[in-house]
Structures are given as C-alpha cells and as structure tokens.
Structure 1
Amino acid sequence: MTATLRFLGTGDAMGVPRVYCDCAVCTEARATGVNRRFRSAVLIDDPEAGHIMIDCGPDWGRMMETAGLRFAERMLLTHGHYDHIGGLPEWADACRWQERRGVAYAPEVTIAEVTARFPWLSRTIEFRPADGGFRLGGWNVRAWRVNHGHNGYAHAYRFDHAETGWSWAYCPDAIGLSEAEKAPLAGLDLLVLGTSFWHETIPYERRSVHDVVEALELLRELKPRAAVFTHLSHDIDLTRRYELPESVRFAETGLRIRLGDG
C-alpha cells in the first residue's frame, strides 16, 4: 500500500479569507469556499508509520474536522512561528483526552522555542530532535535550516524511501536559498514549496516566502518531476486558470497525492 500526502491547510500566515479583507479572493472564499484556506499543514497517511502531520497551526481542530480525522500520532514541525505551532495545545489536549502520548519531531532550536512558549506540552507530547535525521516507516527523513527572509529561518524536510528510492520534500517557508540550502531539494520526485503571491512587489528585504515567479525559476534549477505550491495568500485565486507548467499545480484543501507513484 502506497503512502498518501493530503493537504489539510494550504494558506499563508493569515489564512483565507482574511477577516478584514474584501478583495475578490476573500469574498469568494466566504461565499463558495473554493479559496478558503487554513494555515499550511499536510498529513502523511503511511501504512507503516500511521498518520503523520507536518506543522500544527491554529486551525488544527477545524482542519481535522473538515478532513474527517480525529487524531494524528506524530507531528513534524518546520519552525516555531505561530501559524505552524499554534494548534499544539489543542493536539496536546487531544492526547490527554484519549490517554495517548503524541510524538513531535523538530530541530532542537524549534523544540526549545515551542517548550518555552508552551511548557506544559511535554506532559502529553514527547519531543524528539530531528537534527540528525530519523526513520518513519520506510522513509529516511532529514531536516535542514532554510532562509525565511525577513522572518528569520525555518526548516525543510526531505523524505527518501529506503526501498524504492522515491524522494520528496516539504519546504513551505523559504526565500533566497543558498546553494547549500537548495542542494537537498534537487532532483526530487515531488517538491512541495511555499509561494504566497504570484509576484510580490514589497521590498525584497521585507519578504519571507518565494512568490510564484521566483518559484518557477527555482524549479528550472532544481528539476523536480512534479511540484505543488502551497502557503498561498489571498493573491492566488483558484477560480482562475494560471499558466503553470504541466508538472506544477497549486495546492487545494483536500488534495491527495500518492507518494511513490510514477
């Protein structure tokens, strides 16, 4: 049985709609919901490792209900910003209520940030450092630091299947990557990459995530077999048709991708 990647949240730090915004995308999101987006998170449904989530933002409970899920055994955290960890207290309460102990993998610097902000989480969640790599089911997993521009740094995760050699990576919050930061993203079967705007015009030094124009240029260098853009702001309108390469698409809530196909 092949593992499946499911997109539970595909939005940027503010989500869509933004409560204060009356733009066309936010208005459509309220009316018909095509563009409604929780903060970015994905679920790996693996026959060996069970349910594994990457990131746990403040929409965790609502996205779980929307997806028809009641629990996730493990979490991987990319960094300590609120839109990626704000749901951890709710997950911890789910662990307490069900008398189960969750396991969260993260680089040590992120574990320190999370436990300083929410010191009680360790009662029901076991935090395991991801810095040296680890194994989840048939996947060898590694995490490394990436530039997050104006917002400092985040981490990306790469997954390599020990038997098939199939590889994919999740990098939702990055911009202006160095050669060393790009190296693990090269030649993948699937790259999930954060792109908040089509073309962001604010000064570069104030930006924190690739726009689509930059991401497409990066893909020409990295050459993944397929790519999905996530972490989408209210600048991206999924009711429109965009000129993207055949192997590239925008993430949509509920999108499922079989990990290992092709």
Structure 2
Amino acid sequence: MGVPRVYCSCEICAEARTTGLNRRYRSSAMLEAAEGELLIDCGPEWRTQMELLDKRFISHVLITHAHFDHIAGLPEWADACRWLHKKGHVYAPEEVLQTLRRQFPWLENQLTYHDCGAGLDWGNWRIQPWKVCHGKNGFSYAYRFDRTGASPYSWAYCSDAINLTDKEKAPLFGLQLLILGTNYYEEHADKATRSVYDMIEALELLDETKPDRALFTHMSHGVDIRTDYKLPSMVTLAVTGMRLNLK
C-alpha cells in the first residue's frame, strides 16, 4: 500500500508525511544497461517515479506478477504510448500475460506482450524467471540475472515471496546481490494469512543462500528507516531513488 497509508496515523506514517524519510512508493526497480532500460514492475506510482527520475518515457517493462501494486501503472504507461505514437513492450511468463489480458483487455492496443517464461536476453544479461510461493496471495515470479563475459555478475529480484521450497530457493544460490521483499521486521500475523517474508525470516534465508549482499524492499509502515535493526553489514534497506552499481 505504500507509506504513508492514507488511513493511518502511526508514528512511521506521520514521519513519512513530514520529513519523508519513510515515504515509500510501490516496489519497482530499473536495470540500466548499454542496450537500454528495463523497468521491473509498473505500479500505481509509475508517473511519480518517472518524474523523480526525470524520465519522459520507458519502452520495456518486466512484470513479476499481476497484482495491483505491481501493474496498476500499465494503463497510464499505455496512454503515454498512445500520445507519443510509440509501442511499449511487456515481458512476463504467459500466465501473467493472460491475467493482464483479462484485467486490461485494451492494453495490447499500445503494448506488445512477450512471453519470457523460457528466459530473456537483455544485452549481456541472461534473465531467468521462476515461480515462487506468495503465501495467501498465490504466486509471484522472481527473476535471476546473470552476466557473463569479462565482468560476470549474478543477482536476483524476489519482491513477493514466503515459505520457499528447496526448489524455489535453488536460483538464489551463488548471487552477488539478492533483492528481497520484507514487509516488516517481525510480522506477528498468523502465518496462514501472510504473503511476504519478514526480516527475521529473510535473515534465515540469507544464512542459507549466502549472497554477497542483500537489499530489503517491499517494506510496509511497520518498518522505520531511522531504526537500527542490527542487521548484518551486508544487508541494506531500500530507499526511494537508490542506485546500485552491479559490478
């Protein structure tokens, strides 16, 4: 839901409305490469996020799953494509594309869909999707990015997952960077009602998969960026506008 939540007067939401350190938009990331930019997810703040980056257009979007907080910006992007007489390109496994067709049947007037279920090459990056458990919310897709050549690098984007099986964890090994969704530091709700790891559970996953570095994203108003959660030095909390060099 982003931070602040419109109905909430908690300390974190109040701070987000004033100094704004905890102001968070729906999770998204952008891969910048010589071949162009690839946006990961297109949520309801797509326009605001583009303005913050001083960008007027994006041509390529990779979708993790068809939930509102990850796709609600697609109609506005498609409208931008219409006004600019440009085609946008959406990449996702076929079952995600089919859901988009049911929810927004007009989008393909402006957007071209590409089934990337078997993987996608983006310049010197090989991008491989795999389905992960999203708890009570069904499933999501995570993506592993592997760069070969003179400067090899491997990282994964797994924004919406919980209770991963050994098979679902397998692509998370051998990474320089893991971007992982963690709603809270410790979530006390019944596990059957949950859909994303908390930080305590995520640390157990990191201890098992051992990435060189981890970035926690998809954080709710249960996380205060000003708080020292005593996380390992290799773990960082995502903030709006953060830039990372993948090398």
Segments of structure 1 that go 5 or more residues without pairing to the other structure are: 1-13
1:179 aligns to 2:166 (yes or no): yes
1:75 aligns to 2:53 (yes or no): no
Shift of 1:123: 1.1
Shift of 1:241: 2.0
The aligned residue for residue 223 of structure 2 is 236
Segments of structure 2 that go 5 or more residues without pairing to the other structure are: none
The aligned residue for residue 90 of structure 2 is 104
Q: Find the aligned partners of 2:203 and 2:9 in 1 and give their Cα distance.
A: 29
Deviations 1:92-111 (A, max 9, x none): 11111111111110010000
The aligned residue for residue 202 of structure 1 is 189
Q: Find the aligned partners of 1:154 and 1:200 in 2 and give their Cα distance.
A: 20
**Counterpart selection for 2:10 from 23, 32, 35:** 23
1:248 aligns to 2:235 (yes or no): yes
1:219 aligns to 2:219 (yes or no): no
Q: How many residues align?
A: 246
With 235-244 and 30-39 compared, the bigger mean Cα shift is at 235-244
* Letter in structure 2 aligned against 1:72: I
The aligned residue for residue 33 of structure 2 is 46
Alignment map for 1:85-164 (pairs within 5 Å):
85-163=71-149, 164=151
Deviations 1:114-152 (A, max 9, x none): 111111111111110011011011100110100000100
The aligned residue for residue 10 of structure 1 is none
Q: Find the aligned partners of 1:140 and 1:152 in 2 and give their Cα distance.
A: 26
* Letter in structure 2 aligned against 1:175: I
Runs of 4+ more than 2 Å apart: none
C-alpha root-mean-square deviation of aligned residues, in Å?
A: 0.8
Q: Find the aligned partners of 1:252 and 1:245 in 2 and give their Cα distance.
A: 17
With 171-180 and 241-250 compared, the bigger mean Cα shift is at 241-250
Other structure's SS at 1:255 match:
coil
TM-score (norm 1): 0.92
The aligned residue for residue 166 of structure 1 is 153
* Letter in structure 2 aligned against 1:114: L
Q: Find the aligned partners of 1:96 and 1:67 in 2 and give their Cα distance.
A: 21
Deviations 1:59-98 (A, max 9, x none): 1111111221111110000001011000000111111111
Shift of 1:219: 0.1
